[in-house]
Each structure stands twice: as C-alpha cells, then as structure tokens.
Amino acid sequence: MYSFSKSSPPASPTTSTHSSSLNSVDGTHDSRNEARLTATAKRQKYLKRLCKFRQMDFEYAFWQMIYLFISPQKVYRNFQYRKYTKDQWARDDPAFLVLVGLCILISSIGFSVVLKIHFVGFLKLVLWTVFVDYIGVGLLIATTFWLISNKYMIMAPPMGQDVEWGYAFDVHLNAFFPLLMILHLFQLVFLGPFINAGYFLGLVFGNTLWLIAIMYYIYNTFLGYSALPFLKNTRIILYPATV
C-alpha cells in the first residue's frame, strides 16, 4: 500500500465488534453513494465550491504546489488516495485552481511593472493569460488527452475503468503550474536587464528557460497518466521531449 504524505483519516476508536462492523457498513454505503454521482453532478458540485472559500483547503493546495517541484510523484500518490477514499481521481476542491489563478494575477502585475505596460494592457494580459493560456488551452489539452487515453490507452479488458475528464484537467493544472513559475516569475527577474538586452547569452538563457518549462510540463503530464494503473503505453507522452 502507498504511504501518503497527506495525513490519512484517524483510526476509529475500538468500542465493540458490532459497532465497528456497523461503521464499516455505513462507510461503504457512503462511498457507494458518492460513487453514484454522475460526471455532471460532480462538475456542478465542484463549480459551486468555487464561491465558498472557507470550504477550500488552501494549505493542502499549497503543499501540492511545493511538491510539484521537488517530488511530483507524491502529489499523484495523494490522487490515488483520493480514489481509494472518495472513488474519484479528480480533485473535488477548487483551491488549487484558485491559487494558480492568483499566481497568474501576481505574475501579470510583475510583467506590467518590468515591461512598463499601462493599465489597459495589464487587463488584457491578465484576461489573455487566464482565459486563453490557462483555461482555454487547458480545456483543449485535457480534452485531447482524455479522448486519446480512453480510446487507445485503456488496458484490455477495460474492467469499467476510464479516465475522468476532471482528472485530465487536473493533470494539465499540475503540469501548468511549474511552467507558470518558470516563465512568469523566475524569468521575470532576468527579463529586463538580461534577456531583453539583446545579448546572445541572454537569448540563449531565455530559450533555455522555455525548454526547461516545456520539458517539465511534458514530464508532469506523463506522471499524471502513468499514475493510473489501468493505462498502458503512457511513455508515449514523453516522446515529444526527445525531439
């Protein structure tokens, strides 16, 4: 069994065999009810929580952000833990989505200051980054991987397993965050005095950052799909990194 960094639910106190068995039955019943939720119901539940900040676990989302850099495998072990406890691979808490959006806002402010972009240009930058780079491209990539993985990568026999679209979008979010940090925050420090100065080394450095960010995106995407035990040939995702 996996050892999860996120604290597991505390063990129930030992009272009696009868009460323990009842608790076990109730827990199984609750899990089955949760599993009966359709994809539409799960999506509506997720979207409703976007307006309920007090119900979001920002501490856990921040933990995931850190480990996406130092040990992304641990993040996907916790996805496996969610499947075990809630019978779904995708996040049911939009805290990570909100925090990444906040990072985009902060980095856009930084770009506006460094590049001396006026207020209207700043608004255009934020809207483009959020709705095109972050959400629009994310929807396109997630849907593409969702279709391909379910059609060509499911092990035979399928045993009723399939890739959730929400999980495919979560994989994109996990891969997008390090790319965002490298290109929108780390690169920002060197943008004015070095990269945009026109020097050859500055151009090489800027292109190297782009290469690292894209490679990190591909690798994190690979980890996301290889974490699903019912998928095969997930190494194909790494092929673009060899070009």
- DSSP codes, 201-221: HHHHHHHHHHHHHHHHHHHHH
Residue 22 has pLDDT above 50, yes or no: no
Residue 122 contacts by C-beta under 8 Å, 6 or more apart in sequence? 108, 109, 112
- CA dist 96 and 99 (Å) reads 5
Axis crossing angle, helix 17-35 with helix 72-86, rounded to the nearest 10 = 110
Residue 29 has pLDDT above 60, yes or no: no
Residue 217 has pLDDT above 50, yes or no: yes
| Helix/strand/coil for 93 | coil
Q: Which secondary structure element, helix H or strand E, spans residue 200, and what is its range? A: helix 200-226
Q: Are 125 and 80 in contact (CB under 8 A)?
A: no
Residue range 210-215: mean pLDDT, rounded = 94
- Which range has the worst mean pLDDT, 41-50, 55-64, 181-190, 227-236? 41-50
Q: Are 230 and 188 in contact (CB under 8 A)?
A: no
- CA dist 4 and 80 (Å) reads 9
Residue range 80-100: mean pLDDT, rounded = 88
Evaluate if pTM is beyond 0.75. Answer: yes
Q: Are 143 and 157 in contact (CB under 8 A)?
A: no
